[in-house]
A = this chain, B = another copy of it.
Amino acid sequence: MSSKTTTSTEPSDFPADADDELIRSGRDAALTRRALVRAARRRFATDGYRATTVRQIAADAGVNVALINRYFVSKEGLFEACMLRTSDELDTRASRPSKSIDEVIERLIEHVVNAPDRDDPLQLLLLLRSSGDENADLIRRRTLEHFTRQLATAAGWRSDDPDTEAILLRAQLAIATSLGVVMLRTSAVVEPVASASAHELTGPLTQALRALLAPIGH
């Protein structure tokens, strides 16, 4: 199905984002790199590293396969680039200061619940996907652990707190919860969570996350 192409370049059934597609008119290295990373992130996040082929990615990005190796050396290199970009974006977002725990939770839920055409949730999913490459996996784990500390901090944790261990654990359980929900909505598509609206999800999720994060503050 849909894989009749051997070396072709057609968009396939998982096209690059519209704006990218419009701008692309041939020769622009930076644009090509971005298109590849964008397509790769979607594939890696939804299908997993191993199940994604470089030809799929190239087709999605509307770009020749060989350019992946030109710009990122290897499939693993491309994965690493995806990981780094996700890591960065997550970092800048989380660094915005927040007033209350509820505000932190609200923002976390936003990540989870965003419309499926935006690839916010996919960024989170990418953090779960192991590539088998040691280097990329190290980045992945580091990012996840960094994200844990950021969430804990946002929830009121100070690094001189006596039971830092328990607090980091709680923060990471909150992340685990979020990841689980994204997984069930995006990858394994299971009802009723998959097609639940943001409004329906917010209430219960807030309660669960509050149960995990509220004890951090005091």
Instruction: List A residues at the B interface (Cβ < 8 Å).
Output: 47-51, 127-130, 132, 140-141, 144-145, 148, 165-166, 168-170, 172-173, 175-181, 183-184, 187-193, 196, 200-201, 204-205, 207-212
By beta carbon, the residue of chain B nearest A49 is B51
Chain B residue numbers with a CB within 8 Å of A209 are 208
- Option from B127, B148, B173, B200 in Cβ contact (under 8 Å) with A208: B173
Contact status A207-B200, CB under 8 Å: no
Chain B residue numbers with a CB within 8 Å of A48 are 48, 50-51
Tallying the copies of this chain within the complex gives 2
Chain B residue numbers with a CB within 8 Å of A201 are 169, 173
Contact status B200-A169, CB under 8 Å: yes
Contact status B145-A188, CB under 8 Å: no
A169 to B188 CA separation, bound complex (whole angstroms): 15
- Option from B173, B188, B205, B210 in Cβ contact (under 8 Å) with A173: B205
